[in-house]
């Protein structure tokens, strides 16, 4: 019999991720809840998806699509993805060999890294960077080589000369993200040409995180890797239905890649998740028959972006460009000289608006005096947050 005074000992486990703790998103959301703050920190909408989408998923359940689907994804959804990519970016993938449906974009990103990166391989990551990249590289035994974006009056940009300088014989992969979280930067055609110049003639792979592909503003074009055959031939391209259709909790995305890369991707995919929620796949496939929801997304979010930016005009925050995503970065130097994490906590506890410190997106916590807000919120949520922020 076990005794409360002498409980059995739990074996000691050596961590695979010694630098990883509770994420800043969890900490700030918890702090926001504790203090009744408007949560503009974590990147998710506070409004519902279109009821039609829910109805289509429910109909798929009633139609009997409730057992395991194919490991690669329901054929009808993979075919819809191929058609969408071809229509938008002019690249025709093979639905059977080059598209895999995933448990959200993070699983797709991690699986791409695990299948391609071997111990000692170097992976170039452009910081500030989404927080899943570095742990996945570490789990694969790879070495992250970090290149920092430059930030000036016109916002953030990628210093491609420094990316070029970081490439060597050990480089296995370059990770890019456009539209970029957390900065809202959108890569242009010149950026893609610079990237092509860097990798041409090498065996370097590209992992392109494009989950905000339909959130590009002011008439700009999303420069997907898929538009560039030379780049697409060496790339895993990742997107997210959760972001596009306002259903982040469904955790469903996909990856597109040449068949030779997809073979290796699926070897890992089948043993970490195997397959994805069946009725959701069928419901989304039916919903995709109408392109309007994602075609109208830029105008939908640009309006919210403009509400947020206009609400901060005349405040002591300095707005940085927000060309894509649903994030707005601001400098707060006219308000405080606190470090970013401390300022974000102060905003949450005293001003009652939660933000994310951009320093959290750097491995070594670079301080730039910048925080990130999420404007994927109801209009009244934004109005309340703006009222509080403008009062500082």
SS3 annotation, 165-193: HHCCCCEEEEEEECCCCCCCCCCCHHHHH
Domains 24-43+295-390 and 51-289 share a fold: no
Residues contacting 48, CB < 8 A, separation 6+: 246
- Report, as an integer, the average pLDDT of 376-384: 98
Domain range annotation of the chain: 24-43+295-390, 51-289
- Report, as an integer, the average pLDDT of 120-149: 97
Of 116, 113, 81, residue with least CA distance to 100: 81
Distance linking the first and last C-alpha atoms of the chain: 61
**pLDDT > 90: what percent of the chain?**
93
Say whether pLDDT at 1 is over 60: no
* Average pLDDT taken over every residue of the chain: 96
- Report, as an integer, the average pLDDT of 242-251: 97
State residue 154's pLDDT score: 84
Q: How many helices (H) and strands (E) would you count in the chain?
A: 15, 15
CATH topology of domain 51-289: 3.40.640
Does the model's pTM come out above 0.85?
yes
Using DSSP bridges, classify how beta strands 150-152 and 155-157 pair: parallel, antiparallel or unpaired.
Answer: antiparallel
Say whether pLDDT at 2 is over 60: no
State residue 19's pLDDT score: 86
In DSSP terms, 319 is beta-bridged to: 330
State residue 108's pLDDT score: 98
Q: What are phi and psi of 326, to 5 degrees?
A: -120, 40
State residue 3's pLDDT score: 56
Q: Is the dihedral of CA 178, 184, 189, 193 positive or negative?
A: negative
Say whether pLDDT at 387 is over 80: yes
* 3-class DSSP assignment, residue 254: strand
More confident residue, 42 or 37: 37
**What's the pLDDT band for 21 if we cut at 50, 70, 90?**
confident
Q: What are phi and psi of 102, to 5 degrees?
A: -125, 165
State residue 4's pLDDT score: 66
**What's the pLDDT band for 153 if we cut at 50, 70, 90?**
confident
- Report, as an integer, the average pLDDT of 104-125: 98
Q: What is the CATH number of domain 24-43+295-390?
A: 3.90.1150.10
Is the peptide bond preceding residue 338 cis, with omega within 30 degrees of 0?
Answer: no
């Amino acid at each position: 019999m076990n005794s409360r005074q002498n409980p059995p000992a739990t074996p000691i486990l050596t961590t695979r991720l010694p630098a990883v703790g509770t994420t800043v998103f969890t900490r700030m959301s918890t702090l926001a809840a504790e203090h009744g703050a408007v949560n503009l920190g974590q990147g998710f909408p506070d409004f519902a998806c279109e009821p039609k989408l829910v109805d289509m998923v429910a109909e798929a359940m009633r139609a009997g699509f409730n057992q395991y689907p194919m490991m690669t994804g329901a054929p009808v959804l993979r075919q819809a993805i191929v058609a969408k990519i071809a229509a938008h970016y002019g690249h025709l993938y093979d639905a059977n060999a080059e598209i895999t449906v995933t448990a959200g974009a993070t699983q797709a990103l991690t699986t791409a890294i695990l299948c391609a990166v071997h111990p000692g391989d170097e992976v170039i990551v452009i910081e500030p960077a989404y927080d899943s990249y570095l742990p996945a590289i570490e789990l694969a035994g790879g070495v992250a080589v970090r290149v920092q974006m430059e930030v000036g009056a016109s916002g953030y940009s990628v210093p491609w000369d420094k990316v070029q300088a970081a490439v060597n014989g050990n480089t296995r992969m370059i990770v890019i993200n456009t539209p970029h979280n957390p900065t809202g930067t959108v890569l242009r055609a010149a950026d893609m040409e610079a990237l092509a110049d860097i990798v041409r003639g090498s065996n370097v792979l590209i992992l392109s995180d494009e989950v905000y592909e339909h959130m590009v503003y002011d008439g700009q074009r999303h420069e997907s890797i898929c538009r560039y055959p030379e780049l697409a031939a060496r790339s895993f391209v990742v997107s997210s239905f959760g972001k596009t259709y306002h259903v982040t909790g469904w955790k469903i995305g996909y990856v597109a890649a040449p068949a030779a890369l997809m073979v290796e991707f699926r070897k890992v995919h089948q043993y970490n998740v195997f397959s994805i929620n069946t009725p959701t796949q069928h419901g989304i496939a039916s919903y995709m028959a109408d392109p309007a929801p994602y075609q109208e997304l830029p105008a939908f979010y640009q309006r919210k972006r403009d509400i947020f930016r206009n609400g901060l005009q005349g405040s002591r925050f300095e707005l940085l460009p927000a060309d894509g995503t649903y994030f707005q970065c601001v400098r707060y130097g006219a308000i405080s000289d606190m470090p970013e994490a401390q300022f974000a906590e102060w905003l949450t506890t005293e001003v009652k608006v939660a933000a994310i410190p951009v320093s959290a997106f750097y491995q070594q916590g670079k301080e730039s005096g910048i925080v990130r807000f999420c404007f994927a919120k109801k209009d009244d949520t934004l109005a309340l947050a703006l009222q509080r922020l403008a009062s500082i």
